[in-house]
Amino acid sequence: MSNLIIDEGNSRCKAYVFENNAIVERETGSEISKELLTSLVSKHNVSKIISTSTRRAEFELPAELPHTSHVRFNAQTKLPITIDYKTPETLGRDRIAAAVGARSLLPETNVLIIDMGTAITIDFIDNQGVYHGGIISPGATMRARAMNQFTGCLPLVELPANAELTGKSTEEALQFGILNGIRFEIDGYISRYMHLYEGLQVIVTGGDAELIDHKRVSIIFEPDLVSIGLNGILSYLNR
């Protein structure tokens, strides 16, 4: 039997099939169709499904899916970690799932989780499995659009792969300001957390993960961190 993970993000929808805690198939698109879900369930003999969505409406499964149990991940779902957060009902489920994924990959370790998506989130889970919260910051595209929309003359720029320290044109000044701003911001958080917590490990995930300095030997890149966490939650609920 396999687990099916459905993750509806702000920009993309992802479906993952796990067998024995390993991903055997993944599908990504702007939407996940009923036909695709039916095919995945039949092809992999899926028995358990967990879904989460950052969109306003909860994800609905096709009524005709046979022999499957469905967990809608929400604030009441039992977790294999402890949440130390003032408003857990407002905590993004992708942030929780990423923390569970980090805990499963690096047990008994202090971990800083950086998710480079539409927004940038930086979250901390300690070596006892306690999630302490973190920060939410504008992502790269959001910053570029804000500079264009909230000024009279600044253009909307495409973001390059690399940035110099000094821009030689207005376009470069915008591009380098966005990229360097993100990198310096993240470097600052990593340095501060490393000073506070011994043996800290850093995991980076999300569609804009390539914006992070890949030369840092202490950084682990895991593009499937949220799905790993969702699978871990589903497995925990079915112990």
Give all domains of the chain, ordered by start, each with its CATH number. Answer: 1-72 (3.30.420.40), 80-226 (3.30.420.40)
- Report the C-alpha gap between 77 and 93 in whole angstroms: 10
Kindly name the residue from 7, 84, 94, 115 that is annotated as catalytic. 94
Question: Is a pLDDT exceeding 70 seen at residue 216?
Answer: no
Express each pLDDT in 144-154 by its tens digit: 999 999 999 99
Determine how β-strand 119-125 pairs with β-strand 130-138: antiparallel
- 184: tokens are 């310096």
DSSP summary character for residue 27: E
Q: Is the pLDDT of residue 54 over 80?
A: no
Q: Which amino acid, residue 6?
A: I
Structure confidence by residue, pLDDT tens digits, 74-132? 889 999 999 999 999 999 999 999 999 999 999 999 999 999 988 999 999 999 999 99
Give catalytic status of residue 94 as yes or no. yes
Say if CB 231 and CB 24 are below 8 A apart: no
Distance CA 65, CA 222 (A): 31
Q: Count Cβ atoms below 10 Å from residue 39 Cβ, excluding itself.
A: 12
Amino acid at 185: E
